[in-house]
Amino acid sequence: MRKISMREAINEALHIALNSSPEVFTAGEDIAVYGGQLRCSYGLLENFGAERVFDTPISESAIVGLGVGSAMLNLRPIMELSYIDFLGTCFDQILNQAAKLRYMYGGMVNLPLVIRTQCGAGLGNGAQHSQSLEAILGHIPGIRVLIPSNAYDAKGLLLRAVRDNNPVVFIEHKALYKTKCHVPEEPYECDYTCDIKRTGKDITIVTYSAMVNQALKAAEVLEKEGVEAEVIDIRSIAPFEEETIINSVRKTGHAVVAHEACRKAGFGGEIAATIQEKAFTALKKPVLRVAAPDVPVPFAPILEDAFLPNSEKILAAVKTCLQ
């Protein structure tokens, strides 16, 4: 099977989605002529024309508002917010419109809206272009929040999201765009469920997005030391599938939760609480969290490296948990 990058997989999913239905269109800042600020939309304008692929003004509120209204009129918009950091400028459209309207209309309207956005640090983009804000979105009832860790899942989850009749925020980590894995050419979909990336019997590592690769690196080191770590990629913040995690913790008796977002009120706290509530009697030690410190993302490379969680920090947490 061929290997392609996550950027290529997302671009392929966009082509498939636009080919699948005339109701699908995509819009955002610089996605048409330039092909997207992070180059995920290349070739769309040439293949589908300016009526279905078009640039917007620099107004995130207008972008999401256009998506909400279009979705209510039975179109299937894929809107792009260049960075998740700009969520604050259109939060009312997401919080009070996209997330609420299907409920407030008693299910009489669908909202098949996909909002693509990018998160994450590690590329020297500074404090206003490097955040991981998925926990804020996960707190809002009424929207899906998907966060793939690799090219295969990115393509499958995005194609599933386009068919969803609920609003979906699709979060892509900027540092993953060049990472490659096996991806089928034909269309396929991934469920909004956890995926066990590596099986093990001694400890469960629950994570998502760019931290999945870091967890797998830590698991390789642990294997050489005789420890079998099970690595679970949750893939979906909302809906949050608990069964896979609980079954794993009941098997291993230990759990470490890792994410790149700041520790305070991060989604790792929700995962840890779920484990405590539903697998408490299986735990041999408390659940440990690996996360970024509660400070803005630094710009200086040496400080950004110190800020980011990594495989070494996961490894240290696992060893502490197993002591």
* pLDDT tens digits for range 144-187: 999 999 999 999 999 999 999 999 999 999 999 999 999 999 99
Please indicate whether residue 173 is annotated as part of the active site. Answer: no
pLDDT of residue 256: 98
User: Does residue 37 surpass a pLDDT of 90?
Assistant: no
* pLDDT tens digits for range 61-75: 999 999 999 999 999
Residue 271 — very low, low, confident or very high, per pLDDT cuts 50/70/90? Answer: very high
Closest by CA to 12, choosing from 210, 182, 219, 156, is 156
The single residue of 15, 129, 139, 259 carrying the catalytic annotation is 129
Beta strands (DSSP E) in the chain are 3-5, 24-28, 53-55, 76-81, 114-119, 144-146, 168-173, 180-182, 195-198, 203-207, 229-233, 236-238, 255-262, 288-292
Confirm whether 3-182 and 195-322 share one CATH topology: yes
Structural domain spans, the chain? 3-182, 195-322
* pLDDT tens digits for range 233-268: 999 999 999 999 999 999 999 999 999 999 999 999
pLDDT of residue 1: 81
Pick the CATH number of 3-182 from 3.40.50.300, 3.40.50.970, 3.20.20.140, 3.60.150.10: 3.40.50.970
Residue 149, both tokens: 């860790």
The domain 195-322 having CATH identifier 3.30.70.1050: the answer here is no
Percent of the chain topping pLDDT 90: 99
pTM above threshold 0.75: yes
Amino acid 89 reads T
User: Does residue 38 surpass a pLDDT of 90?
Assistant: no
